[in-house]
Amino acid sequence: MVHDWERTAAEMARMSRALLELAQPGAVENAIVDWAVRSVPGCEAAGLVTATRGARVSCLAASGPLPRGCDDLQHELREGPCHDALWEGTTFIAVDLIADTRWPAWSPAAVRLGVRSVMGFPLSTEGGVLGALNFYATRPHAFDQLAQRIAAICAAHAAVGFRWAQTAHNLRQAIASREEIGQAVGILVERMRITPEQAFQELNRVSSHTNLKVRDLARTIVLTGQLPTVPGEAGEPAPA
């Protein structure tokens, strides 16, 4: 049977548009795993993971309890196809976990959960590997060459959507931080009778002495109307 690649291309285009329209952390990740299950032949469940501090794997989204359990195991055991795809930037495919010895702790545990076939694809852009997408099946040899090709295309489109969601989120945070810093400067100008330049310098000075980021310090000023006191100043005892 000849695969209808025009239909697949149309589905991928629809997915990309949908991800770009969402552009919200959480919503994008959930859409990716749901779309992965619908699009890849043989796929029964999917999960998306990324790296956290301490070089650990964290599950961002899962289509159900099975992939979440398997991805959490990779986090705990620090091994598995998605773990390796994330850190090595290479695709890992296991046709039957019972016979696969690459992950001696994870594979038997995943089999006990009901998984037999799995594919781990890195989500890569020019900026590096953002995460990894896992495709799961409960039967062995579930992913043929067609499924592998479609999964690769799926992962490529998912990487773009995932990167866009991160960029949009960071931009929103940056704009919010600038607004709060501007509000804090205005409060200090009014309360301390100083210029905006002097107010911004005071923000930086207090930030450096209190180990607070400028944006967090600004948020405190906006919420309380007060500039936190530096230890050792204004009658406060200096730390021992």
Query: What are 128's strand-pairing partners?
Result: 125
**CATH class for the domain made up of 5-167:** alpha beta
Residue 2 in this model has a pLDDT that exceeds 70: no
Q: How confident is the model at residue 240 (pLDDT cuts 50, 70, 90)?
A: very low
Q: Residue 54: what pLDDT?
A: 59
Q: How confident is the model at residue 117 (pLDDT cuts 50, 70, 90)?
A: very high
Both tokens of 220, joined, read 């405190």
Q: Please compute the mean of the pLDDT values over residues 199-205 and round it to a whole number.
A: 85
Give the whole-angstrom CA distance, residue 120 versus residue 85: 6
Q: What is the pLDDT of residues 147-199, one digit of tens each?
A: 999 999 999 988 888 887 777 767 777 777 888 888 888 888 888 888 888 88
Q: What is the pLDDT of residues 53-87, one digit of tens each?
A: 656 778 899 999 999 999 999 889 999 998 999 99
Q: Residue 239: what pLDDT?
A: 39
Q: Residue 22: what pLDDT?
A: 66
Give the start-to-end residue ranges of the domains of the chain: 5-167, 171-224
Find, among 177, 198, 204, the residue nearest to 186 by Cα: 198
Phi, psi of 93 (to 5 degrees): -130, 130
- Helix or strand run (H / E) with residue 188: helix 145-192
pTM listed for this prediction:
0.70
| 171-224 CATH, one of 1.10.10.60, 1.10.10.10, 2.60.40.10, 1.10.1060.10 | 1.10.10.10
Comparing 227 with 144, the larger pLDDT belongs to 144
Residue 45 in this model has a pLDDT that exceeds 60: yes
Alpha-carbon distance values, 133 to 8, 87, 214 (Å): 19, 12, 36
